[in-house]
Structure 1
Amino acid sequence: MRYSIGIDIGTTTVKCILFREGPQVAAEAGKEYETLLPEPSWVQQNPENWWDAAVQCIRMVLAKSWVNPEDIKVISVSSQAPAVLPVDKDGRPLHDALIWMDRRSKEEYEIIKEEVGEDKIFDITGNRLDTYFTLTELMWFLRHKPEVMDKCHKVLQVNGYINYKLTGTFSIDDTHASLTQIYDIRHNCWSDELLNAIGAEASLMPDVYRCCEPIGTVSAEAAALTGLSVKTAVLAGAVDATAAGLEAGVYEGGRIAEMSGTSSVVLIGFDKLVTARELSYLKGRGENSTILYGAMNTAGGSLKWFRDALYGGETIRKDSYQRINREIEKMAKYPSKIIFLPYMAGERAPIWDPDARGTFIGLNLNTNRAEMVRSIMEGTCFALKDNLDQAVKIGIPIHDIICCGGCSKSDIWLKIKASVIDKEIKLPEVNLGAPGGLSYMNAAFMGEYESPEEASAASLKIKRTVEPVKEWVEPYREMYHIYVESYKALKDEFKALVKI
């Protein structure tokens, strides 16, 4: 029996799954790590925490399964993206990684906007200029941390760091490259024009690999730490959204899925290059494929904030979210009539506003905790609808949507979501998220399938469908209008508040 491993380095948790042929789950493990918030809009993580968690999870799946490490033929790693992690020639981090939620590079955004121009950047990269991407944050390092950049050998992404720790190879996969806003998507190379604009050398950027291309094998040092075999190949990997989209069948024909975790991402797959200003461009797994996406910063992140700040945090039994769901179903059975703007870390699509802030509107003396937490679920669903509306505007029909990721485990949240968008929601039988897509890449590498897409097509089965709750649809239609207008009314106030 041959085995493979898929590891996803998420925003809050490492998830590691050992797969047997099929692919079928043989063992899994996960471990959380902390996010550092040194100043408002600054969001960073210690990359050693990613590696330590990955090592522990690998050792756990090996211990649970009793699999011979030499039978594990391949590993692939996906991750949150984009990020900026400067490392020296020995791969040692020179600074905490600035992750995708970080918004400190607003001044750099204005400089690049003036010197290069938004249209030019969109033409080169397929994405609108934003502090979300690597470009402005790398410029922030160059301007504010010259002592770090003097020692910098390469700038890595999250999975690029894990891949280095596994193999000793500096690399970036082509899906992560497409999210740096430094990569020329039409010529498939780093953009000298954009690198020159921020004062960076092309040598800072690692070699680009295809997702399923091997970058090396597990090093002796990594094998000693993890228990893996030095014979195991390591693939370049992918952005978590690309991998999760592959699991959900999002790789061609305008198929649509939502990957909902800390953030929520609407994924629309095409088998050709497609760009749209209203949505973001991400290279798909296939050579000429595209995933257009609308990304919301804090979907599950908003609920986690409520859990930790106002609900007493996680429990020993790890059942806090189940308790929240039960409380809503008992104490907040109907639309809340509270508007929650889920902009707890600024927002990406479709408003692209790093100054936007989380907001409750409509609280009164009768408001209970369950109604507040229901309004958080509602607000994230309104944000989803806002992105789906952008897709409709550019001619993409919305018939139904496949939901995957951690937030799709909440029945009440799914009912709210279906009612807000007034469409049925399909839940796949296999709902592993990014590791599921990685398993298809691994299976194709081992020769079980001709391609990861063939593995996906063979595995994708719909377990159940969630229909809109009829009596909720009209109230949510009215609340959605208020949601959209509320942000417009508060946009300038958010900017003023940030300046205080």
Structure 2
Amino acid sequence: MGLFIGLDIGTTSTEVFLYERQGKIRGRGKAACPLLVPEPGRAEQRPDEMIAAVLQALRLAMISGGAKPDDIEAVGVSASMHNVMAVDKDGKPMTPLLTWADNRSAPQIEELRRSGAAKELYELTGTPVHPMSPLGKLLWWKENKPGLFEQAYKFISIKEYLLHQLFGIYALDVSSAAATGMLDVSGRGWCGKALELIGIGKERLGEIVPVAEVLRGMKPEIAEACGLLPHTPWVVGASDGALANIGSGAAALGSTAVTIGATGAVRQFADKPLIDPEGRTFCYAFSADRWLIGSSTSSGGIALNWFKEQFMGGSLPGAERRDAIRAHPERRQRRGRQHAVIDSARPGGHIGSGQGSFDDIIAAAMSVPAGADGLLFLPYLSGERAPCWNPDARGVFAGAGLHHGRQHFARAVLEGGLFAVKSVTETLGELAGRPDRLLASGDFASSAIWTGLLADMTGLRIDVPDRCEASAYGAAMLAMLATGELGSLDQADERIKIVRSHAPNEGNRAVYEKLYPLFKDIYRRLEPVFPVLSSMQGRV
């Protein structure tokens, strides 16, 4: 049948798509994996739950597509970036998986900035020094868990853990390695300065391989569990960000993609490393002749999820839980020990949990004019990456008055996330030139309202491809490339069709041009306050 699998390991769920040779979706599967938030600043996952989700999603996709094991030509792998875990010599987890959203290493990152090492590391690796990166997380382990740090056999990502479970090797593609903050910006090997700073040798990290590296010989029991043959080729693939560009029609040099899921990013491929003098953008090696440059925000659908869960329900937030505790006093003692869980299996847990879950909040937002009648929202609920790279930043509503209703707050949240995307678009534009359009991917691309508002915000044309699952399709296309079905990456864009385009609404644009400087000014004025607020959270 000639089917190719695109496997995308996200933050709170794994999705699998079966594609025919020309890109038609034959089947799909999805499995949830909760994100644990044991205390403010931490964001973890259980590695074995994530592997179970991968296998479940693969089985569901095979069943959905009516596919037999020998129908599959190859599997391509996409995975989220900036995650790390420790394993022992037997490959067993010694820690949870620390995700991109885990900010526990903020003190270590601040020390690197004070000492001047952060600037040097950025120039050497192309990765902004921020708690999101594994470099900072390893420094945290070294200082706070020295016994664990010394005993750990290797520090690996979730992709490496998956491939070790399947093939017995720790393989990490150069694209994902670049996002660790420990790879030389050339892409040719681990950065000696970074490893020296952390105090580890390269033998404690995975083996760097090309994005089109092919693995064969999957363990038979696992192959049977997911419905594949042991000799089915697996292509190591790349980071979800790089593959989102390929899967949305932005594989060509200089073509710019915007992705908004739980978070947001604006990226393009370049033929040489481009480093921002102010350290605001990333530059990740992808192949011998391509680097992924861009900027990212921690805001996006995650803010809409938060607002919908906490403020759009029919009852007061927490009312049901308080009633349950009154009815069962023994629960009071358990509450402090329980993890908070963000689960894509329940509404609001993840942007990918279904576009329908956002219909009400978007409808409420659109019932009031652009600008929400002077109400602004800083969407920094989990700190912020570009352009400020500030883990202490926090969410703020500014300008609230008695005349504002829930619909105004809904619009402010929606617009605040897009203001953040506008800021990273401008940051990349300063480095690589203003684009003439943005190719949309991620869950937001399925909403014409959402993508239209981004056109109003940025003043750019937004083109929406015929698929939203860009990272999974990009992974499948790398599998096609590695097995000869696709001649080159330059041919990838030819397989993408544009289904709709948005030009800016000049009326809305005029409003946003007035509000955007105020949005930035509010952050600037509050920047000295954020560390104080951040230090108090979880302690008062």
Query: Per-residue deviation at 1:475?
Result: 1.1
Residues 124-139 of structure 1: pairs in structure 2 closer than 5 A: 124-139=124-139
Residues 178-257 of structure 1: pairs in structure 2 closer than 5 A: 178-186=178-186, 188-257=188-257
Query: Does structure 1 residue 462 correspond to structure 2 residue 464?
Result: no
Unaligned ranges ≥5, structure 2 = 314-345
TM-superposition CA deviations, 1:206-252 (whole Å, max 9, x none): 10011111133321131132122111111112110000011223334
What one-letter code is carried by the residue in structure 2 that aligns with 1:389? E
Distance 2:356 2:308 in 1: 11
What one-letter code is carried by the residue in structure 1 that aligns with 2:296? A
Distance 1:255 1:69 in 2: 37
Distance 2:476 2:409 in 1: 38
Distance 1:199 1:62, change over 3 A: same
Q: Alignment partner of 1:327: what SS?
A: helix
RMSD of the TM alignment (CA)? 2.0
Distance 1:318 1:119 in 2: 40
What one-letter code is carried by the residue in structure 2 that aligns with 1:485? D
Query: Does structure 1 residue 380 correspond to structure 2 residue 413?
Result: no
Query: Does structure 1 residue 43 correspond to structure 2 residue 79?
Result: no
Distance 1:252 1:2 in 2: 26
Distance 1:322 1:187, change over 3 A: closer
Distance 1:12 1:390 in 2: 28
Give the stretch that moved more between structures: 441-450 or 341-350: 441-450
Distance 2:507 2:273 in 1: 41
Query: Per-residue deviation at 1:187?
Result: 6.2
Unaligned ranges ≥5, structure 1 = none
Conserved? CA contact 1:156–1:171, under 8 Å? no
What one-letter code is carried by the residue in structure 2 that aligns with 1:31? A
2:300 corresponding residue in structure 1: 299
Distance 2:354 2:185 in 1: 46
Residues 243-322 of structure 1: pairs in structure 2 closer than 5 A: 243-276=243-276, 277-284=279-286, 286-312=287-313, 314=347, 319-322=356-359
Query: Per-residue deviation at 1:157?
Result: 1.4
Distance 2:32 2:404 in 1: 32
Residues 152-191 of structure 1: pairs in structure 2 closer than 5 A: 152-186=152-186, 188-191=188-191
TM-superposition CA deviations, 1:143-193 (whole Å, max 9, x none): 222333344222111222222222222111100111111111236111232
Residues 21-60 of structure 1: pairs in structure 2 closer than 5 A: 21-60=21-60
Conserved? CA contact 2:365–2:414, under 8 Å? no
Q: Alignment partner of 1:319: what SS?
A: helix
Conserved? CA contact 2:2–2:21, under 8 Å? yes
Query: Per-residue deviation at 1:362?
Result: 1.7
**Runs of at least 4 residues off by over 3 Å:** 110-116, 315-318
Distance 2:369 2:449 in 1: 9
2:523 corresponding residue in structure 1: 487
Distance 1:259 1:395, change over 3 A: closer
Distance 1:196 1:358 in 2: 36
Distance 1:295 1:22, change over 3 A: same
Query: Per-residue deviation at 1:268?
Result: 1.9
Selected match of 1:357 from 380, 391, 394:
394
Distance 1:369 1:50 in 2: 36
What one-letter code is carried by the residue in structure 1 that aligns with 2:506? K
2:445 corresponding residue in structure 1: 408
2:407 corresponding residue in structure 1: 370
Query: Per-residue deviation at 1:195?
Result: 1.1
Distance 2:202 2:268 in 1: 31
TM-superposition CA deviations, 1:21-71 (whole Å, max 9, x none): 223211012223211112211111111221111111111111122211122
Q: Alignment partner of 2:512: what SS?
A: helix
Conserved? CA contact 1:163–1:234, under 8 Å? no
Distance 2:246 2:484 in 1: 18
Query: Per-residue deviation at 1:341?
Result: 0.6
Q: Alignment partner of 1:184: what SS?
A: coil
Conserved? CA contact 2:174–2:187, under 8 Å? no
1:434 corresponding residue in structure 2: 471
Distance 2:354 2:8 in 1: 24
Q: Percent identity?
A: 25
Distance 1:411 1:368 in 2: 24
What one-letter code is carried by the residue in structure 1 that aligns with 2:282? S
TM-superposition CA deviations, 1:58-101 (whole Å, max 9, x none): 11111122211122121121111111111122222111111111
Q: Alignment partner of 2:22: what SS?
A: coil
Distance 2:400 2:488 in 1: 52
Q: How many residues align?
A: 497
**TM-score relative to the length of structure 1:** 0.95
Indicate the structure whose relative CO is greater, using CA pairs within 8 Å and at least 6 residues apart: 2
Query: Per-residue deviation at 1:401?
Result: 0.9
Q: Alignment partner of 1:465: what SS?
A: strand
